[in-house]
Amino acid sequence: MRRALVALLGCAVIGAGAAWVLTAPSLRHSDAVAGLTGDAATGEAVFWAAGCASCHMAPGATGEAQMVLAGGMAFASAFGTFYAPNISTDAVQGIGGWTPSELAGAVMDGVSPNGAHYYPALPYNAYNKMAAQDMADLTAFLGTLPADATPSKPHDVGFPFNIRRSLGGWKLLFERDDWVLQQAPTPVVERGRYIAEALAHCGECHTPRNALGGLDRSRWLAGAPNPDGKGTVPNITPGKLQWSEGEIVEYLTTGFTPEYDSAGGHMAHVVENMARLPDSDRAAVAAYLKAVPAVP
């Protein structure tokens, strides 16, 4: 019996050690921006496509105040409520003191400058497909925005989801940096794929998740329950969305549907962002949505 207990304890220690190693934060993209010079003007387009202000502006901000990325907006989920942090240029409360590599590690790898995992409420599972130059350009543009000293609000997440180290296991299970639409038949669709799957992270809202919050990529963009419990996020695959490419472009430009309805909720911010992009980018997203597998 004593030998069995010792063996069991040894296995537990080995298992705990292996789990500790496997769940350690890993930086795979932070070095990609090293030596790159970012262009703020180009980075502005990346900023709008990625929807940074939509999540990180202060609640209720309008007009120019939306460019003050003080954070505080709440995002409800089955695991608790997450609050967008301050990512303004303030050196203490924001990201003003971060290096480009630290910012890339946060955005693309979900790892903070002090080596902790970020929750996937930050869509690094999409941003990990960003081009390194786009990341450098985005960094340059963020550096031009106002500073704000508002402290970030802590997340309201209970046990066991408040154990940050466990997010390393979540990443092992669900983090993917490959494309869902593996073959892009044209350069236009390829551009649309890049915007939709990486920058605009459309799948984060429009794709159903499993019990642990991992995306069900077999039902990509097939719709999902609204995380706040009110209604659903629609299916935007060809299996449900029957709009023409021109109608999709019109919606992403004006927010009006062919049925004379209009975008509401967080989608209204997405439309505002998309409307700031070149016409060719909205057309590319429309072409991509026509190319993804249809899910009834």
The answer to whether residues 39 and 139 belong to one domain is: yes
The answer to whether residues 98 and 159 belong to one domain is: yes
> Is pLDDT of 14 > 70?
no
Mean pLDDT of the region 242-260: 96
Mean pLDDT of the region 264-274: 93
pLDDT confidence of 26, banded at 50, 70, 90?
A: confident
What is the pLDDT at residue 265? 86
The answer to whether residues 132 and 191 belong to one domain is: no
| Element holding 41 (H helix, E strand) | helix 40-50
180 within domain boundaries: no
The answer to whether residues 203 and 284 belong to one domain is: yes
pLDDT in tens, 61-89: 999 999 999 999 999 998 999 999 999 99
The answer to whether residues 32 and 170 belong to one domain is: yes
10 within domain boundaries: no
> Is pLDDT of 55 > 90?
yes
Q: Domain holding 198: CATH number?
A: 1.10.760
pTM flag (> 0.75): yes
The answer to whether residues 141 and 264 belong to one domain is: no
What is the pLDDT at residue 202? 97
- Count other C-beta atoms under 10 Å from residue 150's C-beta: 17
> Is pLDDT of 2 > 80?
no
79 within domain boundaries: yes
The answer to whether residues 133 and 170 belong to one domain is: yes
> Is pLDDT of 215 > 70?
yes
286 within domain boundaries: yes
The answer to whether residues 131 and 156 belong to one domain is: yes
Last residue of a domain, one of 122, 152, 174: 174
- Range with lowest mean pLDDT among 15-24, 142-151, 172-181: 15-24
> Is pLDDT of 128 > 70?
yes
156 within domain boundaries: yes
Last residue of a domain, one of 149, 174, 199: 174
Strands 232-233 and 224-225: antiparallel
Mean pLDDT of the region 11-27: 61
The answer to whether residues 153 and 272 belong to one domain is: no
- Residue 205: which of 258, 283, 269 has the closest Cα? 269
pLDDT confidence of 4, banded at 50, 70, 90?
A: low
Mean pLDDT of the region 159-165: 90
The answer to whether residues 113 and 160 belong to one domain is: yes
The answer to whether residues 41 and 159 belong to one domain is: yes
| Number of separate domains in the chain | 2
75 within domain boundaries: yes
> Is pLDDT of 125 > 60?
yes
> Is pLDDT of 20 > 80?
no
Q: Long-range contacts made by residues 268-276, C-beta under 8 angstroms, separation at least 24?
A: 269/51, 269/53, 269/54, 270/51, 270/54, 270/200, 272/54, 273/48, 273/49, 273/51, 273/53, 273/54, 273/200, 274/48, 274/49, 274/200, 276/45, 276/48
pLDDT in tens, 178-209: 999 999 999 999 999 999 999 999 999 999 99
The answer to whether residues 138 and 240 belong to one domain is: no
pLDDT > 90 fraction of the chain, expressed in percent and rounded: 83
Mean pLDDT of the region 256-284: 94
> Is pLDDT of 106 > 50?
yes
Last residue of a domain, one of 153, 174, 195: 174
* Enclosing domain of residue 235: 187-291
> Is pLDDT of 285 > 90?
yes
45 within domain boundaries: yes
